[in-house]
Amino acid sequence: MAVTTVVHRRLLDLAAESVNPQMTRRMLWGERLMATYLEFKKGCVVPAHQHDNEQLTHCISGLMHFTLGDRQLLLRPGEVLLIPGGVTHGAEMLEDTVEMDFFSPPRQDWINKTDTYLRK
């Protein structure tokens, strides 16, 4: 949902999109910021990719194994990860996971549904 005015909603009332059988997302974005709420099943893999957008990931529940170039880390509930634009990264869900991603600027490939790396 794109916005140009003030928006107040329950997060779970935003439209849910099934990106693939293991990933569901809800999105809200403005001109310079995108917020996404994502639910993953255990074993879901987000393939290594990069984008120009800054990304902030907040793990709400579950456990995520991130690969950032040659660096590996676990992201646990309550932890955040800031990924600068241009950094190659990917993740595997070690448990059923709920997280939020924030992007600046908004991810046009997600808005336009041209994010083919996720739709396999």
What digits encode the pLDDT tens for the residues 108-117?
Answer: 999 999 999 9
User: CA dist 70 to 63, 80, 87, 110, 117, Å?
Assistant: 20, 19, 11, 26, 20
Is residue 77 reached through a cis peptide bond, with omega within 30 degrees of 0 on the bond before it?
A: no
pLDDT tens digits, one per residue of 77-120? 999 999 999 999 999 999 999 999 999 999 999 999 999 999 98
**What's the CATH number where 32 sits?**
2.60.120.10
Sign of CA dihedral 89, 90, 93, 98: positive
Tell me whether strands 89-93 and 64-68 are parallel, antiparallel or unpaired.
antiparallel
Domain contains 111: yes
Judge whether 1 lies within some domain. Answer: no
Write down the pTM of the prediction: 0.93
Residue 69 lies in a domain: yes
What span, in angstroms and rounded, lies between the C-alpha atoms of 71 and 93?
A: 17
How many domains is the chain built from? 1
Q: Is 27 inside a domain boundary?
A: yes
